[in-house]
Amino acid sequence: MNTIISWLKRNWFIFAGMLGGGIGGFLYWRFVGCASGTCAITGSPVLSTIWGALIIGLLLFAFFSKSRRQEKGARKNEKQKVKTEVAEEEEEEDY
34 & 10 share domain: yes
The tally of domains found in the chain comes to: 2
C-alpha atoms less than 13 angstroms from C-alpha of 13 in its C-beta half-sphere: 10
Contacts of 56 (CB under 8 A, 6+ apart): 17, 18, 20, 21, 24, 25
60 & 78 share domain: no
41 & 78 share domain: no
30 & 55 share domain: yes
55 & 80 share domain: no
Range of the domain at 60: 1-64
Render pLDDT for 54-86 as a digit per residue (tens, 0 to 9).
888 777 776 766 655 565 556 666 666 666 666
32 & 55 share domain: yes
Q: What is the maximal distance between C-alpha atoms in the chain?
A: 83
Q: How confident is the model at residue 89, as a pLDDT?
A: 64
Q: Identify which has the larger pLDDT, 20 or 40.
A: 20
**Other CB atoms closer than 10 Å to residue 50's CB: what's the count?**
17
- For the chain, what is the total number of helices (H) and then of strands (E)? 5, 0
